[in-house]
Amino acid sequence: MGVAIGLCHSLGLHRCPRLVNANDRLPEARLRLFRRIWWSCFVRDRWLSLAKGTPMRINPEDCDMPMPCVDDVTKELVAIPSATKDKYLPVESDALARLWVNLVKISAALGSILRTHYRSSGPNPGIADIERCEEEIQRCALDKEGLGQTSQILRLHRYQLQLFYE
């Protein structure tokens, strides 16, 4: 993970591309790819840090890449031929993309909690710090409605995301 994050930093994937010149503008498909790569590394960094008890490698204050959106995933699927899509991709690709975006938000909230409660020095967190972390994680809660009407694949991913949330 350290190598992947280092390469992302070297390539500037943690930074939102600035428009210096209209001719230098990156294609939107490339930006969506960069966001997916960067935020996948971000998610992995947070959960590895929690699991191993090691410091997070990504400091959010050094990054300004916008959070991913559902279109970052689904726009790439449009170019895939229908026969291939029907054979290999789940019908619920939009819903699964929304779950991934929610996982990124949960991971960002986890990073705030880790920075607040597990720092090596400084004052202990106060009530305001704890309430701020609680509010951030509660904004990531999944709605429970409509769960029974979804496919097994979508239910499995929703349950797994719920475990991450808990």
SS3 of the chain: CHHHHHHHHHHCCCCCCCCCCHHHCCCHHHHHHHHHHHHHHHHHHHHHHHHHCCCCCCCHHHCCCCCCCHHHHHHHHCCCCHHHHHHHCCCCHHHHHHHHHHHHHHHHHHHHHHHHHCCCCCCCCCHHHHHHHHHHHHCCCCCCCCHHHCCHHHHHHHHHHHHHHC
Buried b (16+ CB within 10 A) or exposed e, 65-76: beebebebbeee
**pLDDT bracket for residue 132 (50, 70, 90):** very high
Please determine, for residue 121, whether its predicted confidence score (pLDDT) is greater than 60.
yes
Specify the pLDDT at position 35: 94
Tell me what the mean pLDDT of segment 51-61 comes to: 93
The number of beta carbons lying within 10 Å of the beta carbon of residue 41 is 21
Specify the pLDDT at position 147: 60
Tell me what the mean pLDDT of segment 129-145 comes to: 88
The number of beta carbons lying within 10 Å of the beta carbon of residue 19 is 8
Please determine, for residue 65, whether its predicted confidence score (pLDDT) is greater than 90.
yes
Tell me what the mean pLDDT of segment 34-41 comes to: 96
**What residues does each domain of the chain span?**
2-165
| CB 56, CB 114: distance < 8 Å | yes
pTM (two decimals)? 0.89
Tell me what the mean pLDDT of segment 63-91 comes to: 92
Measure the CA–CA gap between 114 and 56, rounded to whole angstroms.
9
